[in-house]
Amino acid sequence: MGDLVEFKNTMIDNKAIARIFNEIADLLEIKGDNPFRIRSYRNAATVIETFGESFEKLVREGTVDLQSISGIGEAISGKIKEIVETGDCKAHRDLLKEIPPTLLEIMQLQGVGPKTTAMLWKKMGVTTVEGVEQLAAAGKLRDLAGLGEKSEQKILQSIQNRKKVSGRHLLGDAEQTAHQILDYLHAGPPEKKKRAKTARQKTTSFLAVPAGSLRRGRETIGDVDILVAGKNCEAIIDRFTQFPEVESVLAHGDTKGSVQLKSGLQIDLRVVEEKSFGAALQYFTGSKEHSVALRSRAQKMGYTINEYGLFKVDKKGEKEEWLAGRTEEEIYERLKLQFIPPELRENRGEIEAAEKRELPALIELKNVRGDLHMHTTETDGKATLQEMVEAARSRGLEYVAITDHTKSTRVANGMDEKRLESQIQTIEKLKRKTTGITILKGTECDILADGKLDLSDTVLEQLDLVVVSIHSHFNQSPQEITDRLERAFSNPHVKIFAHPTGRMLFHRPPYAVDVEKLFALAKKHKVCLELNSQPERLDLNDVHLRMARDQGVPIVISTDSHDTSQLDHLKYGVLTARRGWLEPRHVANTLPVKQFLKAIART
DNA sequence: GCCGTTTTCGGCCCGACTGTTTTCAGTCG
Domains within chain A, CATH numbers bracketed? 14-98 (1.10.150.110), 103-164 (1.10.150.20), 169-189+204-272 (3.30.460.10), 286-355 (3.30.210.10), 365-600 (3.20.20.140)
Residue A115 beta carbon within 7 A of nucleic strand B: yes
What residues have CB less than 8 Å from A148, skipping those under 6 apart? A142
A385 preceded by a cis bond (ω within 30 of 0): no
Averaged pLDDT for residues A493-520? 91
pLDDT over 70, % of chain A: 94
At residue A204, the pLDDT reads 57
User: B21 C1' – A142 CA distance, angstroms?
Assistant: 15
Averaged pLDDT for residues A441-455? 95
At residue A442, the pLDDT reads 96
Residue A482 beta carbon within 7 A of nucleic strand B: no
Residue A192 beta carbon within 7 A of nucleic strand B: no
Averaged pLDDT for residues A282-292? 89
User: B10 C1' – A35 CA distance, angstroms?
Assistant: 15
Could you give phi then psi for residue A220, rounded to 5 degrees? Answer: -130, 155
Residue A426 beta carbon within 7 A of nucleic strand B: no
User: B25 C1' – A190 CA distance, angstroms?
Assistant: 35
Residue A32 beta carbon within 7 A of nucleic strand B: no
User: B7 C1' – A317 CA distance, angstroms?
Assistant: 18
User: B7 C1' – A582 CA distance, angstroms?
Assistant: 39
Structure confidence at residue A198 as a pLDDT band (50, 70, 90) = very low
At residue A163, the pLDDT reads 62
Lowest average pLDDT, out of A108-117, A179-188, A197-206, goes to: A197-206
User: B25 C1' – A113 CA distance, angstroms?
Assistant: 12
Q: Half-sphere exposure of A234 toward its Cβ, with a 13 Å CA cutoff?
A: 3
Instruction: Select the more confidently predicted residue: A149 or A314.
Output: A149
pLDDT over 90, % of chain A: 55
Residue A148 beta carbon within 7 A of nucleic strand B: yes
pTM, two decimals, is: 0.79
Which nucleotide lies at the shortest CA–C1' distance from A256? B16
Residue A306 beta carbon within 7 A of nucleic strand B: yes
Residue A410 beta carbon within 7 A of nucleic strand B: no
DSSP A276: G
Tens digits of per-residue pLDDT, A136-164?
Answer: 888 888 888 788 888 888 888 878 776 65
User: B28 C1' – A587 CA distance, angstroms?
Assistant: 39
What residues have CB less than 8 Å from A538, skipping those under 6 apart? A171, A219, A505, A531, A532, A572, A573, A576
State the helix-helix crossing angle for A542-551 and A515-525, rounded to 10 degrees. 40
Closest Cα partner for A484 from A457, A456, A511?
A511
Which nucleotide lies at the shortest CA–C1' distance from A299? B13
Residue A149 beta carbon within 7 A of nucleic strand B: yes
Which nucleotide lies at the shortest CA–C1' distance from A116? B26
User: B14 C1' – A305 CA distance, angstroms?
Assistant: 8
